[in-house]
Amino acid sequence: MAGTEQYSEEFLHQSKQGLINTVSSVFIALEVFCVSLRFLAKWVGRLKLGWDDAFMILGLILCIADAACTMADVKYGGIGLHEARVVQIDPHMMVNWGKFIIIIPLFYFSTVVPPKLAILHLYLSIFTEKRLRNICYATGVVIVCNWVAVIIAGLLSCRPLSYFWTGQGVCINIDAWLRWGGFANILTDVVMLILPMPVVWRLHASTRLKLGIFVTFLLGSLGLVSSIIRFWEFYVTDAEGDRTWAAATLVIWAVIEGGIYLIAACLPIYRPLTKLLWRRVCTNRGHTVESNPSKGASGGSRGSKIRPTYELKPQWRESLMDEEDCLRLVTLGSHRQSEIAPPGKIVVDHQFSVD
């Protein structure tokens, strides 16, 4: 990096640090909220906790750690400023930047693994066909093996690792490591997107229900979009040029990609919560008043008021009691055992799940 006298004041005072801190803070808040909402949805739907929930908690910890390290790099490593400006402020900040640039990619490559394993766990709880289950297991093995290979390559990328801040030693092509280390995410995402489609299509259900399930699985694959954008940004950015400036774009997309994977893995589990909200909306807005004329004619005092009963309109009732998917994302509309059937009504309590 040339001396600061070769750069204009406008160039030296350019900064992406505010953007980095904003993106990191927003995604920490979104991640905590979405994972908390996931557990609330499971409680509402009376769904048991499983390995997928452990994966999501691990993913949340890794995403928060990644974003926290990124914000610490802004403060102590000067990321988001031009390298010439960082050297001008404090040359020792480049040492801090070099240490963070080892830690942050390792967190980033780790953040995408637990959410994808959580989605695969969901598939395994649904699929009964041996071929599809084997594909799920094979995809999980590819995800884990790619993660292990990338982490090992990162730890051995430079000998010694102090090359990142001293420039002394030998090092692999860092740009290639960053670009291609996450390429397997795109391939496995495509497999995970296509995998449930034949199963859904063969369901003996209405087109409306099938489309609803398709959308549910598409929501779980939103990470594919962020992964493609991240790959492109890493491909066109030279991480070895103006290092602290170039790294700003890379860490922003690393935080976004990991966060979107985590959030997308939460979305398919929200159905019990949305069903609860849907019922409340229907109950509050979609009712009609029915009076019972037989009571007024034969029983009761002359001045007594007839207490109206409320029934959902047919179109709302059909939406609630219509066929539901059997993928454990929702439960059939039913009364709890503790509820007592109103006079003159027959209540059938039914519940099933597919393991």
| Mean of per-residue pLDDT scores for the chain | 75
Tokens describing residue 145: 């093996």
Compute the Cα dihedral for 200, 203, 205, 207 and give only its sign.
positive
Report the pLDDT value the prediction gives residue 70, as an integer from 0 to 100. 93
Per-residue confidence at 204, pLDDT binned at 50, 70, 90?
Answer: low
| Chain CA centroid to CA 5, Å | 46
Is the pLDDT assigned to residue 298 strictly greater than 70?
A: no
The lowest-confidence range among 100-104, 143-147, 148-152, 282-286 is 282-286
Q: What percent of the chain is modeled with pLDDT above 70? A: 70
Report the pLDDT value the prediction gives residue 5, as an integer from 0 to 100. 59
pLDDT digits (tens, 9 = 90+) for 34-56: 999 888 888 877 778 888 889 99
pLDDT digits (tens, 9 = 90+) for 52-97: 889 999 999 999 999 999 999 998 988 988 888 888 888 888 888 8
Report the pLDDT value the prediction gives residue 319, as an integer from 0 to 100. 39
Return the SS3 of 347. Answer: coil
Report the pLDDT value the prediction gives residue 142, as an integer from 0 to 100. 92
Is the pLDDT assigned to residue 235 strictly greater than 60?
A: yes
Question: What's the fold here for domain 4-270?
Answer: Rhopdopsin 7-helix transmembrane proteins (1.20.1070)
Q: What's the rounded mean pLDDT across residues 311-339? A: 40
Report the pLDDT value the prediction gives residue 209, as an integer from 0 to 100. 63
Per-residue confidence at 331, pLDDT binned at 50, 70, 90?
Answer: very low
Domain ranges of the chain: 4-270
Is the pLDDT assigned to residue 231 strictly greater than 90?
A: no
Per-residue confidence at 4, pLDDT binned at 50, 70, 90?
Answer: low
CA distance 140 to 120: 7
Report the pLDDT value the prediction gives residue 192, as an integer from 0 to 100. 82
| 8-state DSSP, 308 | P
Per-residue confidence at 24, pLDDT binned at 50, 70, 90?
Answer: very high
**Non-local CB neighbours of 335 within 8 Å, separated by 6+ positions:** 341, 347, 349
User: Which has the higher per-residue pLDDT, 108 or 201?
Assistant: 108
pTM recorded for the entire structure:
0.72
Helix ranges (DSSP H) in the chain: 9-12, 17-44, 51-76, 83-89, 93-111, 113-124, 130-155, 163-166, 174-180, 183-194, 197-201, 207-219, 223-236, 243-266, 271-285, 293-298, 314-321
Report the pLDDT value the prediction gives residue 353, as an integer from 0 to 100. 46
User: Which has the higher per-residue pLDDT, 177 or 21?
Assistant: 21
Nearest CA-CA partner of 174 in 190, 188, 193, 158: 158
Q: What's the rounded mean pLDDT across residues 246-257? A: 87
Q: What's the rounded mean pLDDT across residues 110-129? A: 86
Per-residue confidence at 128, pLDDT binned at 50, 70, 90?
Answer: confident
For residue 289, the cross-strand partners are 310
Is the pLDDT assigned to residue 217 strictly greater than 60?
A: yes
Q: What's the rounded mean pLDDT across residues 167-176? A: 77
Q: Which of 125-139, 207-221, 311-325 has the highest mean pLDDT?
A: 125-139
Q: What's the rounded mean pLDDT across residues 307-336? A: 40
Is the pLDDT assigned to residue 266 strictly greater than 60?
A: yes
Report the pLDDT value the prediction gives residue 138, as an integer from 0 to 100. 93
